Amino acid sequence: MTERKAIPTLPGPLEGYAARFDDLWAKAAQRESFRAYLQGLLLPRDRNKTLTALAGARPIEEAQHARVQKLQYFLCESPWDGAAINARRLELLLADPSTAPHQEGVLVIDDSGDRKSGTRTDHVARQYLGSVGKIDNGIVAVSSLWADERLYFPLHVLPYTPARRLPGGPKDASFRTKPKLALELVAAARQAGVPFRAIVADSFYGDNFTFQEGLEEARLPYVLALRPSTGTWAPAEAAHTPSEAAEDLSWDGPEAPGEWQPVVRHFRDGHEETWWAAELRLAGYGPDQRVRLVATTTDPATLPEGNTWYLATNLPRPGSARVAQSPFKAADLTEIVRLYGLRVWVEQGYKQVKQELGWADFMVRADRAIRRHWVLVFCAFSFCWRAWFGGSERGKGVTPWGKKTEWRNRVVAGDPTPGPQLADPMDPAVALVAGLVARAPAAGTAGVTELGGAWWPGQPLSPVLTNYCY
pLDDT in tens, 230-267: 877 667 666 789 999 999 999 999 999 999 999 998 86
Separation between Cα atoms, residue 113 and residue 255, nearest integer Å: 45
* Confidence tier at 85 by pLDDT (50, 70, 90): very high
DSSP state of 155: E
The model's confidence at residue 12, banded by pLDDT at 50, 70 and 90, is confident
CA atoms within 13 A on the CB side of 234: 16
Taking the alpha carbons at both ends of the chain, their separation in whole angstroms is: 52
Q: Which of 113-117, 416-420, 456-460 shows the highest mean pLDDT?
A: 113-117
| CA 87 – CA 280 distance, rounded (Å) | 41
Question: CA neighbours within 13 Å on the CB side: how many for 416?
Answer: 2
| pLDDT at residue 93 is higher than 70 | yes
**Among 157, 121, 158, which Cα is nearest to 138's?**
121
Q: Is the pLDDT score of 442 beyond 90?
A: no
Tell me the C-alpha distance between 10 and 410, whole Å.
Answer: 9
Report the pLDDT value the prediction gives residue 462, as an integer from 0 to 100: 31
Q: What are the residues whose beta carbons fall under 8 Å from the beta carbon of 65, sequence distance 6 or more? A: 52, 55, 57, 422
Dihedral, 425, 426, 427, 429 alpha carbons, nearest 10: 110
Domain boundaries, the chain: 13-86+363-451
Region of poorest pLDDT, from 5-14, 112-121, 136-145, 316-325: 5-14
The pLDDT of residue 44 is 81
Instruction: Report the predicted TM-score, pTM, of the whole model to 2 decimal places.
Output: 0.84
C-alpha span between 295 and 225 (Å, rounded) = 10
Range with lowest mean pLDDT among 86-95, 179-188, 195-204, 417-426: 417-426
- Range 437-446 burial, b when 16+ CB lie within 10 A, else e: bbbbbbebee
Smallest CA-to-CA distance from 425 within 5, 35, 61, 77 is with 35
Strand 198-201 versus strand 106-115 pairing type? parallel
Furthest CA-CA distance within the chain: 80
Whether the pLDDT of residue 362 is over 50: the answer is yes
Give the 3-state secondary structure of residue 81: coil
**Alpha-carbon span 83 to 371, nearest angstrom:** 9
Listed in sequence order, the residues at least 6 apart from 254 whose beta carbon sits closer than 8 Å to its beta carbon are 262, 274
Question: What are the start-end ranges of the H helices in 45-156?
Answer: 51-54, 66-76, 82-95
User: Is pLDDT at 207 greater than 70 in this prediction?
Assistant: yes
